[in-house]
Structure 1
């Protein structure tokens, strides 16, 4: 390009204005062979250093993200453990409500048979339809309706607890997934982020499965 300028090439003025001519003169006329060799060696080494530093930063960022994900998994595991303990304790309470209905019917049954099998009512035993009607009225009574109400209440409670726990875990996972989206220097890499998002999604599905068992 310098020779072109020297020969009066129309681009000579542009070449001079770019200051590359002065740089070329400095490299060719000022630096000796050893200095030019060092300049050639240092330039790719400097690029390599910058590349290494950049990838080290990417790796550190990924490690920070993954460490945060591991803490997220620990938090979810602890949360599910506490949820299971609460469910066992609360389920026992709701189950006792159903048991109480059945115990009350059993007590009425014991009383009914004690009263019915007395010697003074021995002739009533010959009237099976009368005994059946009395049993339904005094023993069965509203047991079916009461059990249905308790079971319906239990189902509503299970569904509500399930939804609240699932929603809490998903909100936490979604928050974690987006937490570092705009904080990573450069582009971490679509494959890394894609695999991470899949992992978080699989954790959400597994948590939902555990909650429903």
Structure 2
């Protein structure tokens, strides 16, 4: 008698980020992307890590409400300069301002991930903290060349380490190497497995 195989629940990435999509593609597991409808404005006085975690959970819950049978991944990243959250620059001018402010500084990146399944009541979340050290000899010309080449205006803090942005840094310290790109995959895999999807 053949063993009955229970099909896995659908996997959804609650994000429109191409960086996160490319990371989840590494799992060789079918998934879809759904844009979460979430207000990403920080609450006054909210710490960067708390902001990232709140938004990751909000995104996962928002998509899970529309797809209750699915296992949903939500994520958010907030860069942190001296306790102040720095979002995505959006414009060239704002990106220049951010990178000048980060020159010679230690900048923390808080990358939160949440996995939710409404049908089973599954909820797990965690935050990876990445400590980066930006070069003190980073010139205005180097900043300009980097921004023109990469145009990282959709990246927290304008720092795109998986590309030319690695040249802006002296060091990166993290226990989850993909967290700086936008999704801590070690944590994500652990939660997705716990939610019921077999990996690999």
TM-score exceeds 0.5: no
| Greater strand share, structure number | 2
Larger Rg: 1
Relative to the length of structure 2, the TM-score reads 0.23
Q: TM-score, normalised by structure 1?
A: 0.22
